Structure formats: structure tokens, C-alpha cells
Amino acid sequence: MNARRDALNGRNRPIGVFDSGIGGITVLKALRKALPHEDLVYLGDTARLPYGTKSPETVTAYATQATKHLLGHDVKMIVIACNTASAVALGPLTQALAPIPVIGVIEPGAKAGVKATKTGRIGIIATEATVKGGAYARAIHALMPEAEVSQAACGLFVTLAEEGWTKGEVAEAAAKRYLAPLFKGRNAPDTLVLGCTHFPVLARTIKKVAGKGVKLVDSAATTAKAVEEALARQDLTAKHKRKGKTRFLATDSTERFARVGGIFFGEEIRVKDVELVDIKPT
Ligand code: DGL
């Protein structure tokens, strides 16, 4: 009986989710919708944002610290809700944390891109680090070897998203400048993968610039599906029937996190519900 109670308690532990900032809340929102009974702990490493301009070594170190902090919350699974961290740290973290499952956003994003394309021409827009690492092209080619993958680094979108400047002339000018090289030839992509969890809040502006015929996909819903499947596979799905709780942690200004994070979450985040944490090694 005790063993059974322990196993059930194990399944009722929260899922840890992290990103460099508030962008990963786009994934959190999809998790909240797909897994209404799961408890979620979201960590935004806002003090050290952006990750996308940093070296793989630095991003891996930050991702490891974020993960360690979440393990302190007794999480049963880690979701890397950041493409940059997924691109460089998914392998090492998966190894280090086994048997605790670690889910990244690149494979689910690649899957969404492959499903959406009709021509096999897929554009990836992401941070500089994600583009440089080539993880998206590898993940797409593993699913669709004949795919033509083009990429553009759009780092300023992260700042615009964190600033809440998701529409208007500044966001449009940035989108025009970033997307022009992808759409200049005859072999333009018919699908754009938003390869950074900050970008979905700019989707309307990106769509306006890319044109009606271009499909935009992101990894939020497909990641939520991958999490749901991994929980079921490992017998980790929460057994309680109450509504899942969402807890927010940030490494810098809780006020800013609540204010801008609410835009990403699609519902109010109260400042008092965000806890300031220090995840740096002591
Ligand atoms: N949201 C992150 C991503 O998905 C990175 C943004 C950043 O910190 O540069 O890549």
C-alpha cells in the first residue's frame, strides 16, 4: 500500500519548465491547456537573457543551473522551453538527469514544420545560437531528407517580445529586414518555423510581412503533445483530479515578469505569484 502511495505521489509531482525569459510561457500555455491536471513550475532566467547571442558553453552552463534549481522543486520531468538551450543542451541534460525525462522544443518544432509544408521548403527563424548550431536542419532532415531548409537569425525579435512591442512599425521594420533574404528567390519557403519561443507573440507581424501564402508554425502545441506522450509512456501522468497549479520563478524583476509574461500567457500573472530566485552556483 505504501509503495503504491509513493508511486502515486511521484506521479503527482510538478513538471519543471524553463526558458531564458518569458518566451517559454508560450510553451507553458500549451502545456496548461493540454495537461489541465498537472502542476507546473516555470523558471524564467530573466537576469541572464538573452541566451541566443551566447556561446554553447555559456548556454549549457545556464541551462544546467536552471535545471538544478527546478530539481530542487522535486520535478518529475524537465521541459526546455527554449530553442537555444534545447539546441545545445538537450543531449547533455538528458544524460545527466536520466531517468528523469527531459523534453526539448526543437524536434517538436521540426515535426510541426514538416507536417505543414507542401513544397518541402521550410524556413527557420530563430536566435543566432540556434541557427549556428544547425539543430533544426538536422531534425527536419531526419524526418524529411529531401526538405530544403533555409534559416535566418532574428535576435531583435527577442528584445521586441520582451519589450511587449509585438506590433507596429518597429516590429514590422525588423521583420522586413530579417525575412527579406528568405523570400527573395523563387525557392521561397511555404512554411516558417518560429524557432524561438519568444516569437509566437510576434506571429501577426511576421505573417503580415511573410505574406498570406506562408504558414507559420511553432513548437508549443507539438511540445505539449510530446510531454503528454512521455508522461504516459513513463507512467508519470498526475493521478489527482484537481486543477493543476502554475508556479512562476524569475531570476530578475518579478514586476516585469508578471507584466510582460501576462501577454505571453494570455491571462494575468500577479506580481505576488512570481518568486524571485537566485540560480547561480554559490
Ligand atoms: N526563447 C529562447 C529560444 O527559444 C531564446 C531567447 C534568448 O534568450 O535569446 O531560443
pLDDT in tens, 47-82: 999 999 999 999 999 999 999 999 999 999 999 999
pLDDT in tens, 127-177: 999 999 999 999 999 999 999 999 999 999 999 998 889 999 999 999 999
Position in ligand 1 atom list of the atom nearest CA 53: 9
Position in ligand 1 atom list of the atom nearest CA 85: 10
219 lines ligand 1 (CB under 6 A): no
Least confident span in 32-36, 77-81, 263-267: 263-267
Q: Which positions are annotated as active-site residues?
A: 82, 196
Closest alpha carbon to 125 in 214, 230, 226 = 214
54 lines ligand 1 (CB under 6 A): no
Here the cell at position 276 is: 524571485
Q: What is the pLDDT of residue 187?
A: 87
Burial 251-275 (b: 16+ CB within 10 A, else e): bbebebbbebbbebbeeebeeeebe
Provide the mean pLDDT of the chain.
Answer: 94
Q: What is the pLDDT of residue 281?
A: 84
Q: What is the pLDDT of residue 2?
A: 59
Contact 217, 39 (CB under 8 A): no
Give me ligand 1 centre to Cα 97, in Å. 22
Residue 32 has pLDDT above 70, yes or no: yes
Q: What is the pLDDT of residue 1?
A: 46
CATH of 2-104+221-276, one of 3.40.50.1860, 3.50.50.60, 3.40.250.10, 3.40.50.1370: 3.40.50.1860
- Domain span(s) for CATH 3.40.50.1860 in the chain: 2-104+221-276, 106-219
Instruction: Tell the CATH topology of 106-219.
Output: Rossmann fold (3.40.50)
Residue 42 has pLDDT above 80, yes or no: yes
Q: What is the pLDDT of residue 4?
A: 57
Give me ligand 1 centre to Cα 220, in Å. 14
Residue 232 has pLDDT above 60, yes or no: yes
The C-alpha angle 245, 225, 138, rounded to 5 degrees, equals: 125
Residue 272 has pLDDT above 90, yes or no: yes
Q: What is the pLDDT of residue 5?
A: 57
E-assigned strand segments in the chain = 15-19, 40-44, 77-80, 102-103, 121-126, 148-153, 191-194, 215-218, 246-250, 274-276
Tell how far CA 219 is from the center of its chain.
7
Give me ligand 1 centre to Cα 196, in Å. 5
Neighbours of 172 (CB within 10 A): 15
